[in-house]
Structure 1
């Protein structure tokens, strides 16, 4: 398991807090921001970055989700439930975002040396460290029956509460995790279960869409039997960084990063228009 701390190179890191759900109109903005930051760390105009972001009532879709046989019906179902569909630019499948889900990105340089598995392990070891006072039972393996299943699903007693994806932009690496902190993990899973049932309808497909079993998923609050909030978890992160003697500073995007964001946002818009068509 990679030790997360070694990747911050004993330098001051930037912490960017975009966790106000009204800050950005769409999750497309946040994927574009992570691209802009990945480019900054890639060209060494920025040290490593940790960024928080939250979106209310959004379902982030993978490219295969946008090719589901009954796409119109499936996307219409999400919209009827008042969820905004967004097609991501990183790997993975459908994920539910709301005010009780914290997205947490780590932006690191050295993508030519940092292996894919190593990138995931950096995030796993960091999350384990943040939560070490609450639990030592976090495991990383694919939780069958969860939504967006992957080799680095995070679970406690077999119940998934977080999933990790990764994107590489030039030499920059964006390791992104969603953490279900508040509310019901089962209810979020039921939404995605219905999305796939509506979109597949039992048809044989080249791509294997997951069969969602809502009982495989929980929130951290449920698993730790406490009313943990997104704000409290963010405080746990900053407290942990301070305890570990990581020099961090609250930051915002530079002017150069804002210009890169504009270009990357347009790419996200183009991607979503192409993937969703009239449903965009």
Structure 2
């Protein structure tokens, strides 16, 4: 396995900050943006990218979530609780996006060297460890049973999960995406996903095993550190961890044009997932 610090030690990184765009920023756009960045980075047109993004009260559903037997009831519950929902293009299961959750995308290239799926995840874990080093947290990676969207690269402290990672690969690019629960209650977010699954399953048996959510195994970084953390503070930590090689950027004209096509694909993905039950928005 490659040294993940070597992956992070590329001489230049683009930093795209989309953490303050507000409630009008559609979560479908984030996954489309990462798709178009994968092409730029995968072709070697762009150096690797770190993108920060925040969305208002939205549940990001995985492919398996869209196959729940009573999905319509689950979506109605989310709407009643004041949440939007999308079907994302990367792996994993349902997660909560809200103003207290920082999402980071690490866009890497496979043009000149292959990175295994685990190596993609390890690169993100290395970045987060470096970014959170000032808090001296005993961060562990490994699946937290009872969390939402459980996976081998869950990040936790004393058994309480604060972050989960998913990954998407296309066009010789790799988008490794992480959500970090920064503020608020990790348990309350988990209760929402628990209630969603209860409504969307309604006691039915399924071939796929959905997680049995235990809210007590999830927490935010503010809860874990006992400090009043904020997303701007964590972004400051990110810049200090990466140093001068992290250069502020935005989408190029070519990327903006590709985004239009990739966003249309995301809209179509969501139409197929939700239109048949009358819940496409």
Q: TM-score, normalised by structure 2?
A: 0.95
* Contact in 1 for aligned 2:23/2:56 (Cα 8 Å): no
Unaligned runs of 5+ in 1: none
| Partners of 1:21 and 1:56 within 8 A in 2 | no
Q: Which residue of 1 aligns with 2:69?
A: 69
Q: Which residue of 1 aligns with 2:237?
A: 236
SS of match in other structure, 1:279: coil
What is the alpha-carbon distance in structure 2 between the residues aligned to residue 226 and residue 109 of structure 1? 36
Match of 2:120 in 1: 119
Compared with structure 1, are the counterparts of its residues 156 and 9 closer, same or farther at alpha carbon in structure 2 (3 Å cutoff)? Answer: closer
Task: Name stretches of at least 5 consecutive residues in structure 2 with no aligned partner.
Answer: none
Farther off after superposition, 114-123 or 135-144:
135-144
Matched, 1:165 2:166: yes
Matches within 5 A, 1:39-118: 39-110=39-110, 113-118=114-119
Over aligned residues, Cα RMSD in angstroms? 1.4
TM-score (norm 1): 0.96
Tell me whether 1:195 sits opposite 2:193 in the alignment. no
Paired positions, count: 277
CA contact (8 A) 1:18 1:52 kept: yes
Per-residue deviation, 1:10: 3.6
Preserved CA contact (<8 Å) 2:8 2:123 = no
**1:85-105: per-residue Cα shift (whole Å, max 9, x none)?**
100000000000000000000
Q: Verify the 8 A CA contact 2:37 2:255 in the aligned structure 1.
A: yes
Distance 2:10 2:57 in 1: 38
Can you list the C-alpha shifts for 1:184-237, whole angstroms capped at 9, x where unaligned? 000000000000011112211011111100001000000011110111111110
Where 1:142 maps in the other structure, the secondary structure is: coil
Alignment match, 1:180:
181
Name the counterpart of 1:252: 250
* Partners of 1:20 and 1:157 in 2: CA distance: 31
Residue aligning to 2:36? 36
Equivalent-residue separation in structure 2 for 1:39 and 1:81 (angstroms): 37
The residue that corresponds to 2:210 in the other structure is: 209
